[in-house]
Amino acid sequence: MFDIGFAELLAIAVVGLLVIGPEQLPGTVRTIMLWLGRLRSSFSEVRRDIEREIGAEDIRRQLHNESVMRELEKTRNEINSIADDTRQTIEDSKASIEADVKAGTQSKDD
């Protein structure tokens, strides 16, 4: 986390010993460690909350994508149905026209 080596820790300890005094140094160190522990647990909790929220966002996005895909599939099926109906109508019209043309040429031959 921090790039603190042994020499820096030793310097901090000496300064702490001179400033705070030998009687109050153990209590001060305990208090500092308590606050650091609380700070670390708070950061861990925030990180877990963020990860959980990101996971929930992914799930929401996936559900949205699935609903969009269902709608696209439904639309594709409707378009295919309309295309099949149109194709059948065209084929029926073509057969009817061919029958009319054939009937017209047969009546001319008579």
Q: What is the pLDDT at residue 60?
A: 82
Q: What is the pLDDT at residue 109?
A: 61
Q: How far is CA 94 from the centre of its chain?
A: 51
User: What 3-state class would DSSP assign to 83?
Assistant: helix
**pTM listed for this prediction:** 0.44
Please say whether the beta carbons of 7 and 15 come within 8 A: no
Q: What does pLDDT average to in each consecutive run of 10 residues of the chain (110 residues)?
A: 78 85 85 92 91 81 90 95 95 91 73
d(CA 46, CA 43): 5
Enter the DSSP assignment of 23.
T
Amino acid at 45: E
Q: What is the pLDDT at residue 84?
A: 95
